[in-house]
């Protein structure tokens, strides 16, 4: 059993996914790390994990995060859609 991670890194929060945005599809076991170099230049991240159980894909979770800046400090907060 492993997860397939579908990660959409968006340049802005208004247009949804466009061809200039980044899509990452990674088969991993428990977690995935997104490099800082990707996070710094983008404003929203959508993360969808699908569990692969003996060839059957089962939706597991979906999260979205938006970048906020305050006092020159960047943080990522959960975005409720």
22-35 pLDDT per residue, tens = 888 877 767 778 88
Domain that holds residue 53: 2-78
- What is the rounded distance in angstroms from the CA atom of residue 51 to the CA atom of residue 78? 22
Q: How many domains, in total, are found in the chain?
A: 1
What's the mean pLDDT when you consider all of the chain? 81
DSSP 43-56: SEEEEEEEEEETTE
- What's the predicted TM-score (pTM) here? 0.70
Could you tell me which of 50, 66, 70 has the C-alpha nearest to residue 58?
A: 50
- What is the rounded distance in angstroms from the CA atom of residue 38 to the CA atom of residue 33? 11
Number of other CB atoms surrounding residue 3 within 10 Å = 20
């Amino acid at each position: 059993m492993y997860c397939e991670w579908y990660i959409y890194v968006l340049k802005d929060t208004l247009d949804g996914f466009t061809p200039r945005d980044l899509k990452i599809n990674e088969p991993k076991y428990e977690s995935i790390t997104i490099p800082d170099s990707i996070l710094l230049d983008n404003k929203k991240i959508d993360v969808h994990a699908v569990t692969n159980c003996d060839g059957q894909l089962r939706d597991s979770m979906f999260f979205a995060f938006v970048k906020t800046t305050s006092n020159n400090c960047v943080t990522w907060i959960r975005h409720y859609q």
